[in-house]
Amino acid sequence: MAVPPVPPAQTGLIEVSDFHLAYDTLDGAMVAVSDADLVVRPGEFVSIIGPSGCGKSTLLNAVAGFLKPTAGRVTVDGEAVKGPSADRGMVFQQYSLFPWKTVRENVEFGLKMRGLGRSERAVAARTLLGLAGLSAFEDHYPDRLSGGMKQRVGIVRALATGPKVLLLDEPFGALDAQTRIIMQQILTNLWQRLGISVLFVTHDIDEAIFLSDRIYVMTARPGTIKAEVTVPLARPRDAALQLSPDFIQLRADLGALIREESLKAMGGELNEDALKGLAVNLNGSNLAQVV
């Protein structure tokens, strides 16, 4: 299906600058994120990748308004983020659909909070559910949906209020590989039609490359931005892109960057040599004998 051109987005500029976030503990402050800067321009699709525990979700939650930075600024369109708002739609890894609401009631939720009437809500929700291929399930409770369906509901629910930016926290992490690829295409499609800014957190390198205009790579805790990568791949992108040399090269480069950090995140004892079994001195005997 040809995607009609959308006028370039005017809003949805996310700016995070000098971001610090630390928790108080008995042993003093525990720094989660330190000195992070990032920008998402209007209409841009930007991902954050990094090893687990690096604070990428922390950054996203700060943009959503759930966390306050210890120091630094988080603004959307120049306005400081003070708390959660319907201007910033969010999609969670755990789907987070309201189990007591049907699929359509879930999608209508944001519009209901805005005070829209019953019939207006229903019209908007049905349109969005149609885009996500879920028309037949509007009266189902979320319990009865598959993971991919639940997350499609999660995405259109976040889009229903017409947010300036969409924030996604490892939204496809719980899905199987095949479903994930299809979900990525659906998300790309929705993003192109709506022309809004997206900030996407993932630990899946392929996913980040396939979806993004730019990628921020984070270091192990205390997390900060280690690299900013522009994805040189044209759109529209399809699944075959993953076989192109550019894609493969980028994946290798990003993989190397993140591997370093993942090893750090897993504790200082692991390094490349240890993984190959060279660093452990077994006094000449082999491992089977020792164990």
Partner 1 sequence: MQTAMAKTLVSPSAPLHLAGVEGRGAAVAAPGPILLRPERPEAPAAPAPDRSPLGRARRWVKLNAAAIRAILLGALSIGLFILAWHVLTSNRMILYVRFVNVPSPEQVLESARTAFSTGAFFDHIYISCRRIFLGFAIATLVAVPLGLLMGRFQLLKDFVFPVSEVLRPIPAIAWVPMSIMLWPTNEESIVFITFLGSFFPILINTLHGMANVDEVLVRAARCLGASERATFREVYFPAVLPQIFTGLTVGMGVAWVSLIAAEMISGQFGIGYFTWEAYSLVQYPDIALGMITIGVLGLASSFLIRLLGRAVTPWSRAK
Q: Which residues bind partner 1 (CB under 8 A)?
A: 64-66, 83-86, 88-90, 92, 94, 96-101, 109-110, 113-114, 140-141, 143-144, 157-158, 161
Residue nearer to partner 1 on the CB measure, 73 or 114: 114
Residue nearer to partner 1 on the CB measure, 88 or 237: 88
Residue nearer to partner 1 on the CB measure, 86 or 182: 86
Question: How far, in Å, are 149, 156, 179, 194, 231 from residue 135 at the CA level?
Answer: 11, 12, 19, 20, 34
Which tokens belong to 93?
């890894």
Q: Answer whether 85's CB lies under 8 Å from 161's CB.
A: no
- Nearest-approach distance from CB 87 to partner 1, in angstroms: 9
Residue nearer to partner 1 on the CB measure, 23 or 100: 100
- Nearest-approach distance from CB 272 to partner 1, in angstroms: 32
- Nearest-approach distance from CB 228 to partner 1, in angstroms: 26
- Nearest-approach distance from CB 30 to partner 1, in angstroms: 21
Beta strand 71-76 with 14-25 is: antiparallel
- Nearest-approach distance from CB 137 to partner 1, in angstroms: 12
Map tokens 């990525």 to a residue: 184
Residue nearer to partner 1 on the CB measure, 173 or 222: 173
List CB contacts of 184: < 8 A, sequence separation 6 or more. 172, 207, 210, 211
Which is it for the CA torsion 220, 222, 223, 227, positive or negative? negative
User: What are the residues facing 15 on neighbouring strands?
Assistant: 39, 75
- Nearest-approach distance from CB 189 to partner 1, in angstroms: 22
Q: What is the DSSP string of 26-67?
A: TTEEEEEEEEEEEEE-TT-EEEEE-STTSSHHHHHHHHHTSS
Kind plus residue range of the DSSP H or E element containing 120? helix 118-131
DSSP three-state, residue 157:
helix
Residue nearer to partner 1 on the CB measure, 7 or 83: 83
- Nearest-approach distance from CB 148 to partner 1, in angstroms: 18
Residue nearer to partner 1 on the CB measure, 243 or 288: 243
